Every structure is written in C-alpha cells, then in structure tokens.
Structure 1
Amino acid sequence: MNFGNVLTAMVTPFNQQGAIGFQEVTNLVEYLLDHGTEGLVVAGTTGESPTLSTKEKVALFTQVVKVVNKRVPVIAGTGSNNTAGSIALTKQAEDCGVDAIMLVTPYYNKPSQNGMHQHFMEIANKTRLPVMLYNIPGRSGINMNADTIIKLSQIENIVSVKEASGDLDQATTIIEKTSSDFSVYCGDDGLTLPMLSIGASGVVSVASHIIGTELNQMVTKFKQGHVKEAAAIHRRFLPVMNGLFTYPSPTPVKYALSQKGLECGGVRLPLIPLAEDEQLEIHEIVKDL
C-alpha cells in the first residue's frame, strides 16, 4: 500500500506548561502539508511517544485527524513492547478515525523472530486498519529480519514497513520477496535516495519538518527518471538530514522549527533542551534554508 512519497514522523508540540499544545499541533500540521508532506505519522518516537500518556495519544490522534480532514493519510503510532497494550491503543486509534497504524518492533524484551511474528500477527488480527511495521534495531535493540517481514507481509492488512535497519541488503531482500502492493519506506533520511534506487516507495522522514519540499522534489525527480537532479538534491541536503540527528531526536528538529517561526515547545525528560553551543551548531546547519 502506498501512503505517499514523503511521510513526516511528526514531533509533538508542547506548550509552556509542558502539555500538548493543540493550537501548535494545528499550525504544524498545516505547515507540513504546505511543504511536501503527503502523510503523517503521529505519536511515534519522534513524537516522544514514550513520554505521552494513552490519554494524550488519543487526544493527539483526534486533533490531527480533525485538522487533516482526509487530505493525507494519518498513521497512528500504537506499537509498544506490550502486545495487549498495543491492541488496546490500536482500538482507541480506530475510534479516532486514523487511516492506519504503525507498530514498532518490541523494544527491551528482545523477543525471538517467531515471538515478533506472533506479536504483530496478534495485533493485526484485532484491527481492520492497515498496518505499517517499523523495524529500527538501533532503538529497539533487536532486528526484525527479512524473512520475518516477508512472512508478515502475507497477512492481509500488514501492508507496509518502515525499514530503518540501515541494511540495504536486507531492504533489497524484502522488496524482492514481497508482493508489489507491499510498500517499503526508508526510515533513515540520509538513505532515502539509495533506498529509492532499490525500489522503496518513499521515506518516513524527520528532516521533512525542515526540508519537506526539497525531499519531495528529490523523490519525485527520481521516480520521473531524473536521477542526476535527484542526486544533486540529495548531496545538497545530506548535511541537514544528518545534522538533525547530531543530538537526541527530536531535540534538534524542534529547535530548528523554532528558528523557522514554528513554536513546538521543548522536550520532556529524559530528553533535555539543547545547550547554547548546541543551538548554535543546529542554527548553522539550517540558517540558509
């Protein structure tokens, strides 16, 4: 299932009291849709999901669905390392009107490949929504291998994977051995163009908060066969893509958004705001945009 070329893993704006800022959410959604975003992933890791309560997640899903008003797909991050908890949140997300869910590989527990297969199958069987898997061993501590993803792709409503292992061989195997209607999305901004070259559908991006229009142009140019132009965009903006992960995400991108006049507030502990020298570093990366 194709959700669009550029999906944004959206930050969660907080107000001065540290609560979700719903007006800021509205402003951010409108900005992203005006700047190349074709789908929104809400309450993922970039949205600081570990620090959001279930009540906050449901309120966030509801607000984003309302603001988007069917213009682009809204994908709710409902995955966790608790299968029953993920099912419960998925059912609440369904009631909010989201278009799909994203399920991250269970972190910390380190289940076996068969355990992961059963985890995702159990959740998928309890929802009518399309499911995007999310493989990110750097954060979850375990890699969901290609064979497991290929096997899961045979479940009717498991339709996509955000592949952030950084392993192009693994991504190639997944693309080659899944059906043509199963989409593979790049989960690392800097690998978007290489992933497109092996058949990925697009990117679930953090950098699209800042360079969404440019990323969309790059993907579109590549798909139109203008490979050199796409490569030039990649080379030009790779420092931005990498620079936004210089410090724990989403701290840099929230600061960069503030520099563009989009206030999204701070971050919640255990993340901390950028120090002054760190702010200067991020400012230098994005000042010309």
Structure 2
Amino acid sequence: MDFGKVLTAMVTPFDSEGKLDLNKTEMLVEHLIANGSDGLVLGGTTGESPTLSDDEKLKLFKFVSEVVNDRIPVLAGAGSNNTEATIQLTKEAELTGVNGIMLVTPYYNKPNEAGLYQHFKSIAENTKLPIMLYNVPGRSVVNMSVDTTVELSKVPNIVSTKDASGDIDMMSEIIERTDESFSLYVGDDSMTLPSLAVGSHGVVSVSSHVIGNEMQDMVQSFINGESKKAAKIHRSILPKMKACFMAPSPAPVKAALNYYGVDVGSVRLPLVDLTLDEFNTLKGILDQ
C-alpha cells in the first residue's frame, strides 16, 4: 500500500486543562491536509504516545478517521514494549477506521533480534491492516538489524518501515534487499532528500506541520529529476527542520503551530513548553 510521500507524525492537541481537544484536532487535520500532508500518523512519539491512555488513543484514531473520511491514509501508532497489549490495542484500532498501523521497536526491555521478529510477526498475524515498522534506536535503545527487517518484510501485511536510525548505509541495504512493494520512509526530517537519493519512498515528518508544502515541493522536484531545485529547497528549509527539534519534541513544533495560529495547546509532563528565550529563537527562525 502506498501511504504517500510526505506523512505527518501528528501532534495531539490538548485543551487548557491538558485533555484531548477534538475541536482543535479537527482544525489541525484540515490544516495538514491543505498544507502538503499525504497521510497522517497518529499516536506516535510526536503525538505524545507515552502520556496518552489507550482510551484517548482509540478516541483520537476514530475521530480523525471520521474527519479525514478517506481523503488521505491514517496510520495508528499502536506499538509498545508489551506484545500482548499491542495486539489488543491493534485489534481495537482496526475497528476505528484507520488505514494502517505503525509499530515501534520495543523499548526498555531490549529484546534480541529473535524477540523483535516474533514480536512484530505475532502482532501482524492478529490484524488485517497493513503495518509500518518503526526503528528508532535513539528512543528505544534497540536498533533492529537489516536482516530482521528483511525477514519481517516477507510477512504479507508488513508493508513498510519508518527508519530513524540516521544510518543511510543501513537504509540503502534495506531498500536493496526488500521487495519493491515494501517501502522505506525516513524518520529524520533533515535526511528526507539524502534518503530519496538512495531509494526511500518518502518521510514521516514532524516539521511538515509547518513546512509541509515546501517538503512536498522538494520531494516532487527530486522525483521529477530537478535535483538542483530539490537541493536548494532542502538547504532553505533545513534551519526550520532543525528548529523543530531544538527542545524535546513535540514542544517546539507545538509552539510553532500555536505561533502560526493553529492552536494545539501545550505538552504533557514530563515534557514542558519552550522557555521564552527558546521561543524567541524559534520565532526568529520561522520569520526568516
């Protein structure tokens, strides 16, 4: 399944009391669809998954699926480091109308490659939905090997991987060794263009909340053979990409959205909002 080129790892909007705000969510979804997002990934790291309850996640999945109404693909972040709990949440997510599931590598309990394979295979066998794997060693302390990813790509409904390893050689090898129907999305915004050059399908992005159209323009320029134009766009938007990670994510991108008039509220503890100095630095970059 083709989820698109520029997918946004969507922030979760909260009200002034820190509760899930569906009115703000609807406005954010419309903003993203209108500004370059080919698809949405809900309940991931950027969506503050560690502090969302399963009930909140399911409510979010169902609501966004209804708002989107099949205009673009919606993927639900259902992964955790508990295989049984992930199977249960995946089954419940399937009933909300989402188009796919994203599953992060199990964090904290540090499984070996055999454990990773069995974890993902077991979940895949319990859903009909297409699955995107998510390798993010910087957060999970587990870097899933190329061999394991290649083996998992042979499971019929594991169709894609989001790679946030930062290792372009590893990405190249995964792309080379998997079937053409299996797609690799890069998980680091600033590596979008380099990853396209070695054959990635696209990006699951944070900064596309605020520079979605520019990212889309960069990707399409590259696809159309206009590599110099794509490189020029990459260089021009790189400061904004980096600014979205100047503090623990998603605090900077939420601040940027609020600054642009797309109200998404604050972040939940243990994350905190930007300091005034950080916000002024962010504002200066956004205003360039």
TM-score bucket of the superposed structures, by smaller chain: over 0.9
Q: In 1, distance between residues paired with 2:162 and 2:283?
A: 29
Deviation for aligned residue 1:144? 0.4
- How far the C-alpha of 1:281 sits from its partner, in A, is 1.1
Q: Which residue of 1 aligns with 2:256?
A: 256
Structure 1 gap ranges (5+): none
Distance 1:285 1:14 in 2: 25
Aligned equivalents of 1:258, 1:126: Cα separation in 2: 39
1:164 matched residue in structure 2: 164
Matched, 1:243 2:205: no
Shift of the alpha carbon at 1:242? 1.0
Please state whether the residue corresponding to 1:47 is helix, strand or coil.
coil
Shift of 1:7: 0.1
CA distances 1:209-266 after superposition (whole Å, capped 9, x unpaired): 0100000010011011111100000000011111110100000000000110011000
Equivalent-residue separation in structure 2 for 1:160 and 1:5 (angstroms): 12
Calculate percent identity across the aligned residue pairs.
Answer: 55
1:285: how far off?
A: 1.4
Aligned-partner Cα distance in 2 for 1:76–1:241:
24
What residue in structure 2 maps to residue 265 of structure 1? 265
State the distance in 2 between where 1:109 and 1:44 align.
19
TM-score, normalised to structure 2, is 0.99
Q: Is 1:28 equivalent to 2:24 in the alignment?
A: no
Residue pairs, 1:101-140, within 5 angstroms: 101-140=101-140
- Distance in 2 separating the partners of 1:255 and 1:37: 19
Shift in Å, 1:208:
0.1
Determine helix, strand or coil for the equivalent of 1:20: coil
Letter aligned with residue 199 of structure 2 = G
2:11 match: secondary structure: coil
SS at match of 2:7: strand
Give me the whole-angstrom Cα distance separating, in 2, the residues matched to 1:222 and 1:230: 5
Residue identity in the other structure for 2:121: M
Report the equivalent of 1:98.
Answer: 98
In the alignment, the residues of structure 2 paired with residue 127 and residue 88 of structure 1 have an alpha-carbon distance, to the nearest angstrom, of: 10
Instruction: Compute the TM-score of the two structures, normalised by the length of structure 1.
Output: 0.99
Aligned partner letter, 2:279:
Q
Letter of the aligned partner of 2:59 in structure 1? A
Partner Cα separation in structure 2 for residue 104 and residue 266 of structure 1: 24
Q: Report the count of equivalent residues.
A: 288
| Structure 2 unaligned residues grouped into runs of 5+ | none
CA distance in 1, matches of 2:32, 2:256: 14
Amino acid at match of 2:119: H
Q: Does 1:227 align with 2:230?
A: no
Instruction: Name the Cα RMSD after superposition.
Output: 0.6
1:12 paired with 2:3, answer: no
> Secondary structure, in 3 states, of the residue corresponding to 1:27?
helix
How far apart are residue 267 of structure 1 and its match?
Answer: 0.4
Corresponding position of 1:218: 218
Corresponding position of 2:203: 203
List, as ranges, runs of 4+ consecutive aligned residues in structure 1 with deviation greater than 3 Å.
none
- The 2-side partners of 1:180 and 1:86 are apart by 28
Distance 1:150 1:73 in 2: 24
Cα distance, 1:2 vs structure 2: 2.0
- SS of the equivalent of 1:217 reads helix
Q: Which residue of structure 2 lines up, in the alignment, with residue 38 of structure 1? A: 38
Partner SS for 2:95:
helix
Distance (Å, rounded) in 2 between the aligned partners of 1:90 and 1:40: 17
Summarize the alignment of residues 49-88 of structure 1 with structure 2, pairs less than 5 Å apart: 49-88=49-88
Per-residue CA deviation, residues 99-136 of structure 1 (Å, 9 max, x unaligned), is: 00000000001000110000000000000000000000
**Aligned-residue offset at 1:166:** 0.2
CA distance in 1, matches of 2:226, 2:201: 16
Structure 2: distance between partners of 1:242 and 1:141: 22
Verify: 1:274 aligned to 2:274, yes or no: yes
